[in-house]
Amino acid sequence: MSAIRASIVGGSGYVGGELLRLLASHPRVEIGQVTSESHAGQRVSRCHPNLRRMELDFCSIADLKPCDLLFLCLPHGQAVDRFDSIKELAPRLVDLSADFRLKDHAAYQRWYGRPHPRPELLGSFVYGIPELRRSEMRSARWISSAGCNATAVILGLYPLFKHDLIDRARTVAEVKVGSSEGGKASSPASHHPERSRCTRSYKPSGHRHIAEMVQELVGEEPAQIHFSATAIDTVRGILATSHVFLKQCLDEKDVWKIYRQEYGKEPFIRIVKDRDGLYQFPDPKWLAGSNFCDIGFERDRGSDRLVVLSAIDNLMKGSAGQAVQAFNIMNGFPEITGLEFPGLHPA
């Protein structure tokens, strides 16, 4: 079977670099073109020094040629603005921006502060978490990859919501995230004297990824998800700590059965169940460069509270790795193809 010719639109950022790294060793992919308006004509290694032996130059979007599939890694708002011209270049798209993640126009306007410029397209993209949308992805033309914070929280809590085990009015989640989540563009907040050694609450309420959590976990039922985000002094990784309150008296063994039922056969979900030693709970440090999501939990013996911990690499399972996983599903390849790297220890 011939290789899939895939091109990347917006390849100079961190996510574009991760996609290039993954696709370069994917046995069923031929990399076509990679765009960057500010680096057109330069080698991709100019932006991604880990890819020094890759003999590929950036080009302009205007020079893109037709291919089998396009990965869109453009800043928020640009994919939708260019959509009509981009969609003519490939029969299938995987968009890694937030432009098409939500299905409801009112929700988009609420969380993004403006009307969606193409509301008729909302609902045309399959939401990009394979563990939830695998069957739809198999026949999808267009996929919208999930947000990284949303991915960590959704995967951690999905079995509990699905089986209606928790009080839906009292879900509280907080993520601690590395600096790469903010992207490659510099800002006063990313300036080294400001970012180094920080533990900074940057979005204690009103984070846009809440919209994805509500869409995928809650649907139209009345419920609330309270979410906060904190920046910490690391480059990669997300640790989501979610507090939920059980509707019935379940011990940890019962909860483990639910998680094993939902995730026991998932290739990229690892349930962490050690109860002694250094590795009792998920830690994003061990996930750097991998597409895994590690999930663990602990029952608060003094209350009905269950604490769920889920960890990912934000650039992998939170972005590029998950996009390649979706790409594999779209093309009928084994999901683990090109994504077998297990992470590093020590790191």
Q: pLDDT for 288-320, tens place per residue?
A: 999 999 999 999 988 999 999 999 999 999 999
Q: What is the mean pLDDT of the chain?
A: 95
Looking at residue 347, what is its pLDDT? Answer: 83
For β-strands 238-245 and 305-312, DSSP reports them as antiparallel
- CA 118 → CA 70, 78, 104, 114, 133, distances in Å? 20, 12, 12, 12, 23
Q: Which one is the CATH code of 4-146+318-330: 2.40.30.20, 3.50.30.30, 3.40.50.720, 3.30.420.240?
A: 3.40.50.720
47 labelled catalytic:
no
| Residue range 150-170, pLDDT digits in tens | 999 999 999 999 999 999 989
> Looking at residues 200-217, what average pLDDT do you find?
94
Q: Is the pTM of this model over 0.95?
A: yes
Please say if the pLDDT value at position 215 is more than 70: yes
User: Where are the chain's structural domains?
Assistant: 4-146+318-330, 149-312
> Looking at residues 172-189, what average pLDDT do you find?
91
How does DSSP assign 298-328, residue by residue? EE-TTSSEEEEEEEE-TTTTTTHHHHHHHHH
Among 101, 233, 75, 230, CA closest to 154: 101
User: Considering the chain, what percentage of its residues have pLDDT values greater than 90?
Assistant: 87
| Residue range 35-86, pLDDT digits in tens | 999 999 999 999 999 999 999 999 999 999 999 999 999 999 999 999 999 9
Q: Identity (one letter) of the amino acid at 141?
A: R
> Looking at residues 275-282, what average pLDDT do you find?
89
Answer for the pair 22, 324: CB distance below 8 angstroms, yes or no: yes
Supply the DSSP symbol for 35: E
Among 156, 141, 93, 113, CA closest to 293: 156
Query: What would the CATH number be for the domain defined by 149-312?
Result: 3.30.360.10
Given pLDDT bands bounded at 50, 70 and 90, which one contains residue 29?
very high
Set 47, 148, 198, 293: catalytic member: 148
Given pLDDT bands bounded at 50, 70 and 90, which one contains residue 1?
low
Token duo for residue 183: 């992207």
